[in-house]
Amino acid sequence: MWVSVRANVRVSSAARRSAREALQIAVRAGGFSAIVVVGMAVFGVAILYATFYVWLGVDSPGSMKVTELPLLLVGYGFGASFVALFAQLGGGIYTKAADVGADLVGKVEQGIPEDDPRNPAVIADLVGDNVGDCAARGADLFESIAAEIISAMILGGTMAQRCKIEDPSGFILFPLVVHSFDLVISSVGILSIRGTRDSGLIAPIEDPMAIMQKGYSITILLAVLTFGVSTRWLLYTEQAPSAWLNFALCGLVGIITAYAFVWISKYYTDYKHEPVRALALSSSTGHGTNIIAGVSLGLESTALPVLVISVAIISAFWLGHTSGLVDESGNPTGGLFGTAVATMGMLSTAAYVLTMDMFGPIADNAGGIVEMSQQPESVREITDLLDAVGNTTKATTKGFAIGSAALASFLLFSAYMDEVSSFAQLPFKEVDIAIPEVFVGGLLGSMLIFLFSAWACAAVGKTAQEVVNEVRRQFIERPGIMDYKEKPDYSRCVAIVASASLREMIKPGALAIISPIAVGIIFRILGHVTGQALLGAKVVAAMLMFATVTGILMALFLNTAGGAWDNAKKYIETGALGGKGSESHKAAITGDTVGDPFKDTAGPSIHVLIKMLATITLVMAPIFL
């Protein structure tokens, strides 16, 4: 977050010279933060693995086997999920309460620009972009990388043990190597974006999205090459000489899935495409039609991603299943590990994707600084362009996060079933929802997603009301604010959103943590009373399964609808359909206000929630038996 704060001023200054130079500074600042986040996740897991390996004397006579070592790392993933949930939830409440409060009074009631220095909530809004969209998203990606690495290490070790592979270390360390390469190739993609100056004059406006997509294409190409090298190096085994090629194809499936998610999200949230333009057009007939169109767009946007992730899971599973790796009984065992490899492929460009995500708030805040310092309109034109692209990149990377969360949760679910089988010494390979208690567990999982989303949105609304009342009070009690004769009390709004975000995140956060533990213990007791073995573990498995499916759909809806509403407003602000101050613009602001807690609080928090549910059940599995 500290890097993004410094970059805001540098970008606003560079915008006076060139759109491309401003783009370069924003991308490289976000890229530096992303590289640090991914590097910390990889370094943390590697250090723990090496420490346990040496400390416990792994593979020495009478000691733990190397294939069992990844299970000790689960606590690291749980800690990452725990912090990420509260960072994303609290940060989302902070930024969106400030944003909504600033917009409703400043833009709608007083008719002043979004980042006008006369608005008492403007500083809280700018700070919130860094808190909610930089720090929180970094915590989200850190958790995604950590959870995916650990789950893949567990599945790789389990498969190697079943197949009696002489040296299983390659299958266990493969995730760490893939993400180490991610640091290198993403750095190359980031550095490929270069800025230019034009003799101190403002250069012609370029398309920032096209420039970033070129960098992403370079990163993807390098990811394909390095992934192929990694699979041949670490996943080759004489028991199945061609297995590494199947796993390389699994990685390619993941990389294609990542690109598809980015493209689909861009289609539904970029105002260059028809869905957002149709949403903007609906604003011309009023606030109600804007809301209806935005909700329907968000619901529609769930279809294509679900089809893509379905194809990806099945394709990766069967590529792994047919890899030639079999257990002692001759049964294929590579299916789940194939899905794990596809997840690694999807996250093999994670650092560059996070760079695009962090670009958004940096560009947004740079525009705010330009507005507050009353720079020429030509400079604001450049920052507005970067801001609009930033809205799209934030939406596309959230789609990417949902896809990776879906695959990672599937892996963690499989790891949970393996762990239950290991502790209970009983086979646990399927979840039968025809059992009433298990079906109830599924219902509870789906309900959890809806209740969590409701409480997250309500927290934003409640805090925003406090901000609105404070901003209105200052405008009434300090009439000189509008004439620049008095300064607003910015610190008061910052204090309101800071304290409220800490207070309001407790209830939904506690719901996420306590629910799976309580359900597992209650149904474990019921299982002992009724003579149903593993009932607690089965009910928790159903809860996790239904929560994951419901959470993916809910997050897709919330993220896409919110992003589309935001860019529909931006499209109108370019001069379309009456431009700023028109009735269409006011209706679009209403839609954007509704979408703010969707796309920046509840939606991103669900990504973390479904992965945290999986890690909690993995850590707590023994108490459900």
Q: Residue 226: is its pLDDT beyond 90?
A: yes
Could you read off the pLDDT of 238-248 as tens digits, one per residue? 888 888 999 99
**pLDDT confidence tier of residue 165, bands split at 50, 70 and 90:** confident
Average pLDDT over residues 90-96: 82
- 237 forms beta bridges with 240
* Alpha carbon distance 464, 364 (integer Å): 20
Q: Which one has a higher pLDDT value, 224 or 353?
A: 224
Count of C-beta atoms within a 10 Å radius of residue 181 = 18
pTM of the full structure: 0.85
**pLDDT confidence tier of residue 374, bands split at 50, 70 and 90:** confident
pLDDT of residue 13: 64
pLDDT of residue 203: 44
Contact between 616 and 78 under an 8 Å Cβ cutoff? The reply is: yes
pLDDT of residue 1: 54
Could you read off the pLDDT of 426-452 as tens digits, one per residue? 777 778 888 899 999 999 999 999 999
Contact between 624 and 524 under an 8 Å Cβ cutoff? The reply is: yes
Q: Which one has a higher pLDDT value, 23 or 548?
A: 548
**What mean pLDDT is reported for the chain?**
83
Average pLDDT over residues 512-519: 90
pLDDT of residue 15: 58
* Alpha carbon distance 295, 282 (integer Å): 12
* Alpha carbon distance 455, 467 (integer Å): 18
**pLDDT confidence tier of residue 200, bands split at 50, 70 and 90:** very low
Could you read off the pLDDT of 3-15 as tens digits, one per residue? 555 555 566 666 5
Q: Which one has a higher pLDDT value, 201 or 161?
A: 161
Average pLDDT over residues 268-280: 88
Average pLDDT over residues 590-612: 85
In residues, how long is the chain?
625
Q: Which of 564, 561, 566 is nearest to 598 (CA)?
A: 561
Q: Hey, what are 434's tokens?
A: 């025809």
Q: Of 113-117, 167-171, 377-381, give the range with the top mean pLDDT.
A: 167-171
Q: Which of 273, 271, 279, 280 is nearest to 297 (CA)?
A: 279
Burial of 36 (0-12, 13-18, 19+ CB in 10 A): middle
Domain count, the chain: 1
* Alpha carbon distance 234, 268 (integer Å): 39
Q: Of 89-93, 313-317, 490-494, 603-607, give the range with the top mean pLDDT.
A: 313-317
The identity of residue 87, as a single letter, is A
From residue 191, how far is each of 115, 211, 264, 356 by CA, in Å? Answer: 31, 12, 26, 13
Q: Hey, what are 369's tokens?
A: 């600084």
* Alpha carbon distance 225, 453 (integer Å): 40
**pLDDT confidence tier of residue 620, bands split at 50, 70 and 90:** confident
Task: Supply the range of the domain harboring residue 109.
Answer: 2-624
Average pLDDT over residues 579-603: 86
pLDDT of residue 295: 94
Q: Residue 111: is its pLDDT beyond 50?
A: yes
Which of 201-205, 253-257, 302-306, 592-596 comes out lowest in average pLDDT? 201-205
Q: Which percentage of the chain shows pLDDT scores above 70?
A: 93
Count of C-beta atoms within a 10 Å radius of residue 374 = 9
Q: Residue 32: is its pLDDT beyond 70?
A: yes
* Alpha carbon distance 592, 613 (integer Å): 30
